[in-house]
Structure 1
Amino acid sequence: MSYLDTTVDVYKAAALTPDVGLCCTTSPIWQLPGLSMPKIMQEMNYGCGTTVHPRDLVNSPSILYVGVGGGMELLQFSYFSRKKSGVIGVDVVDEMLAASKQNFVQAEQENDWFDQDFVELRKGDALDLPVENASIDVAAQNCLFNIFKAEELKKALEEMYRVLKPHGRLVMSDPICNQEMPAHLQEDEKLRALCLSGSIPMHEYIKMLTDVGFGTVEVRAKRPYRILSPNHYAVDQNIIIESLEVCAIKDPMPADGPCVFTGKAAIYYGQEDYLDDHKGHVLLQNQPQAVCDKTANALAELGRDDIHITPSTYFYDGGGCC
């Protein structure tokens, strides 16, 4: 049995009997006007963060969500795209698709605005999505891709890139680990299926996205998630796992490399009203400007004593200059 078969078995069981402790989401459930979230969906929230960000969801976009879980994020996405098949949910586990479909019956009873036709469920694999090229505005996955090993992860990201329209957005939430994950844990099929031992360092995670072709990456949140301690696992020291939320945008790749926003800002406090670096960046006097890491490095290399570059916060909320 492969680790992917083990994953299917784990989530088949979680579909048949909701497992509240399977994942530990680190983001609050969106409270939106007129949205009632069925209890069963909350119990089947098998994610480690959130992929629902209203700023991505204007103008009733076409949305793809891979790994449907109990349907919670599908319902949240449909709140912003109230049209037939406005949200497509793809899953390889028949039992999870059936459970999600049944949960939408309850959601329709609790929400007078919701129609089950807003969500189209499709049987399919993240490595071979049943979705047309360049047909999706926003694609998302929550705590799924970290299960994959490198080769499968690359294929899953390529598939997401393929189905997105130009400037479309891939929003993801996954566990990461900046320590070296012991090999015996990486090869533990159950731990990988439980979204623990497949965690990779943040810089590798971001590089996987940019290698596929995403020209802009936003790190929107980084929070504590789990600890693999010697008390419970065969490790010599605590292995710290964090939850990462990112948005990768299908922008053209800049000639000088991708724009990766990690929450840095530049502040110019010189004598002039503004600073123009003649590379497309204008900093107003004493006004913080969000910048990508590449631009932050370029400004620092100017060697000026009137520019302050803040450290990464890993909570980028838009408005950046690149």
Structure 2
Amino acid sequence: MNSKIENLDRSKVTNAVQEIYREVASNPEKGFHFPVGRISCMNLGYPAEELDALPVSAVESFAGAGYPFVADSIKSGDTVVDVGSGSGTDVLIARHKTGDKGLVYGIDFSETMNKKARENIDKSGLDGIQIRESPADNIPLEDANADVATSNGAINLVTDKDKAYGEIYRILRPGGRIQIADIVLSKPVDAASKANARLWAECIAGAEPVNTYLDLVRAAGFKDVTVIDRLDYFDRSSNESTRKTAKSLGAHAIVLIGRKD
């Protein structure tokens, strides 16, 4: 499905997404068309005590779309993979949840975000975390390596979502769980917008209608795929045009769960 998007220059999408997340990492107070930082975390449902346990510099560049940990999927001793790990907010929260014997991998294709994540890990004093630079559709881990895959507002930015979910399925062990927060739509984006790299970077053009999105997760092999939370992610955007576009498409965030047999 995603491999056949007409007139889409994937390199332009990659560059546009890379550029905006360089800014989120290096200049988080600038103001963006999507919410960022601690206020965004709180609006999405992150408990204050979880955020207080993290370096301020990890939370300031948060750019997720939901609170995937509402799924309560992570258990003590788990190996967790965060796909699109950004500045490390969810990586660090996941590591707190895995306990002393756990292991967390952060996967992100942004060099700037990965650098900031590694700095935040050092500040946290936590071990058992590895950051690896790679796109979501080419996860540099062995098959059946993880117990849980988490992701937050990242897969809508991937041009080949089928391949990304195939990779997530591949790296999970049998019985592995997913907890995914992402942007979805109530109706599809028109072809011109779908080919617009800038609109991809704004987390709208790359989003899929919710039923299409859930179907591609199931097509990757996941069972019991269920939406457990929904929220109007764009209602707090500082950009009026973004709010209007999102409203016209019914763009919103969901948190979903599923499992690998």
Name which of 98, 117, 120 aligns with 1:103. Answer: 120
2:15 — aligned with what?
5
Aligned partner of 2:188 in structure 1 is: 180
1:142 to 141, 152, 159: 152
1:37-69 deviation per Cα after TM superposition (whole angstroms, max 9, x unaligned):
322222211101022247311232100011121
Map of 1:75-94 to 2, 5 A cutoff?
A: 75-83=92-100, 86-94=103-111
Match of 1:55 among 72, 84, 91: 72
Measure, in 2, the Cα distance between the counterparts of 1:173 and 1:249.
15
Tell me the residue number matched to 2:226: 218
Work out whether residues 147 and 192 of structure 1, in 8 Å CA contact, stay in contact via their aligned partners in 2.
Answer: yes
Amino acid at match of 1:67: G
Question: 2:76 & 2:122 partners in 1: Cα distance?
Answer: 26
In the superposition, relative to structure 1, how do residues 245 and 54 fare at CA in structure 2: closer, same or farther (>3 Å)? closer
TM-score, with structure 2 as normaliser: 0.83
User: Normalising by the residue count of structure 1, what TM-score does the alignment of the two structures yield?
Assistant: 0.68
For residues 73-110 of structure 1, what are the alpha-carbon distances to aligned partners after superposition, in whole Å with 9 as ceiling and x for unaligned?
Answer: 111001112347710111112111111111223333xx
1:245 corresponds to which of 255, 258, 261? 255
Task: Report deviation, 1:122.
Answer: 1.2
User: Aligned residue pairs: how many?
Assistant: 239
CA contact (8 A) 2:78 2:102 kept: no
Structure 1 segment 25-64 matched on structure 2, within 5 A: 25=40, 26-32=43-49, 36-53=53-70, 55-64=72-81
Give structure 2 stretches of 5+ with no counterpart.
1-10
Distance in 2 between the 1:187 and 1:2 partners? 10
Which of 143, 153, 166 is 1:133 aligned to? 143
Segment of structure 1 superposing worse, 157-166 or 37-46: 37-46
Shift of 1:163: 0.2
Query: What pairs with 1:171-320 in structure 2 (closer than 5 Å)?
Result: 171-226=179-234, 232=241, 238-251=248-261
- Where structure 1 has 5 or more consecutive residues not aligned to the other structure, the ranges are 109-114, 252-322
Task: Quote the Cα distance in structure 2 between the aligned partners of 1:139 and 1:33.
Answer: 19
| Partner SS, residue 233 of structure 2 | strand
Amino-acid identity (%):
22
Distance 2:50 2:58 in 1: 18
* Relative contact order higher in (CA < 8 Å, ≥ 6 apart): 2
Q: Work out the CA distance in 1 between the residues paired with 2:14 and 2:153.
A: 14
CA distance in 1: counterparts of 2:51 and 2:254, whole angstroms:
29
For the aligned residue pairs, the C-alpha RMSD in angstroms reads 2.5
Q: Taking structure 1 as reference, are residues 250 and 119 closer, same or farther at Cα in structure 2, changes over 3 Å only? A: same
Q: Which amino acid in the other structure matches residue 107 of structure 1?
A: S
In the alignment, the residues of structure 2 paired with residue 71 and residue 65 of structure 1 have an alpha-carbon distance, to the nearest angstrom, of 9
1:5 and 1:34 map into 2 onto residues whose CA distance is: 30
Extract structure 1 runs of 4+ deviating beyond 6 A: none
> What's 2:7 paired with?
none
The one-letter code of the counterpart of 1:100 is A
Task: Output the amino acid matched with 1:86.
Answer: L
Question: How much does 1:130 deviate?
Answer: 0.7
Q: Please tell me whether the aligned partners of residues 175 and 241 of structure 1 are also in contact (alpha carbons under 8 angstroms).
A: yes
Task: For 1:54 and 1:3, locate their aligned partners in 2 and report how far apart those are by CA, in whole Å.
Answer: 31
Q: Which has the larger radius of gyration?
A: 1
How many Å apart are 1:34 and its aligned residue? 10
